[in-house]
Amino acid sequence: MQIRTATIADFEKIWPIFHAVVSAGDTYTYPRDTSKEQAFQWWMQVPKRTLVAEEDGEILGTYYIKANQLGGGAHVCNCGYMVSAAARGRGIARSMCEHSQELARELGFRAMQFNFVVSSNHTAVKLWTQLGFETLARLPEAFLHPSLGYVDALVMHKKLA
Amino acid sequence: MQIRTATIADFEKIWPIFHAVVSAGDTYTYPRDTSKEQAFQWWMQVPKRTLVAEEDGEILGTYYIKANQLGGGAHVCNCGYMVSAAARGRGIARSMCEHSQELARELGFRAMQFNFVVSSNHTAVKLWTQLGFETLARLPEAFLHPSLGYVDALVMHKKLA
């Protein structure tokens, strides 16, 4: 598996992953009916860089990296990761997160912050914790989960510098 | 003093306040050289609503309210407040924050979150605490202050519902 910068053409294969994750509505705060055009803007254009995890020409996962704030807060980055349903359980998210930490250091970021990890997303919370992220806050009832109702979201953080 | 919804024409009087606050670079993460056009977009167009505190035709302060997240996170709002240098110390920020909490309830928000209160902004931290906001997290060295160097930023939160 290779993790590389995404091209515009890759979005045709990124979109089904994005759409499956977002329309499920249980992990991200993108609207569940986010259009392909809006997804392209948010996932491919707004971030500093978007990458894909590729194997035999198939895209198994994707992530973005961007500054979490502008101005005096631009030295802390934020990332988002998505894995295709078919590739779950193979450590793709772990590989992408490790890759993103290296990339973040190369880009000069001093820390990485996840602003909104849905607390019921136990796989993500466990993985980020294993990878050295600290939970700095639990945002009470910050996320309306489609089946669980209001659940907390976590602010998670890792120093890189 | 009256707090009312801002008109597009009000931006001519909002801009000097925004520019003074942002170019100082010690409280917000907007780039210090943010242009008037960009400020108009961020302060007047992106938010759900922008308001002004007005007295005798002068604008003493301004605030915005918007959803802090989309999708499953859209029931928590975020606000930003700015007071003109000439009107500081008169309780304008307090009045605007109290007003914003009422407005937030009217708009159906269940909580208000400040994502990035610079910890060296003691006036703000003290005021929000007095108004019932709880500090949920201290983001380590999240803000590069122009004279103090890296300082922490706070995530502050108040339930409204």
Per-residue confidence band for A161, with pLDDT thresholds at 50, 70 and 90: confident
In angstroms, the CA A133 to CA A135 distance is: 7
Q: Which amino acid is at B68?
A: N
Q: Any idea what the CATH number is for the domain that residue B71 is in?
A: 3.40.630.30
- pLDDT tens digits, residue range B78-136? 999 999 999 999 999 999 999 999 999 999 999 999 999 999 999 999 999 999 999 99
Contacts of A138 in chain B (CB under 8 A): 136
Compute the radius of gyration of chain A from its Cα atoms. 15
Residue A65's domain spans which residues?
2-159
Which residues are bridge partners to A117 per DSSP? A154
Give the residue carrying structure tokens 């109290």: B98
- A76 and B144: CB-CB below 8 Å? no
Which residues are bridge partners to A81 per DSSP? A63
* Per-chain mean pLDDT for chain A: 98
Q: Which residue in chain B has the smallest CA separation from A71? A: B31
Contacts of B75 in chain A (CB under 8 A): 144
ipTM of the complex, rounded to two decimals:
0.96
- A71 and B32: CB-CB below 8 Å? yes
Number of domains within chain A: 1
- pLDDT tens digits, residue range A87-100? 999 999 999 999 99
- pLDDT tens digits, residue range B3-30? 999 999 999 999 999 999 999 999 999 9
Contacts of A74 in chain B (CB under 8 A): 29
Task: Please check whether residue A43 is in contact with residue A107, taking contact to mean a CB–CB distance below 8 angstroms.
Answer: no
Kind plus residue range of the DSSP H or E element containing B2: strand B2-5
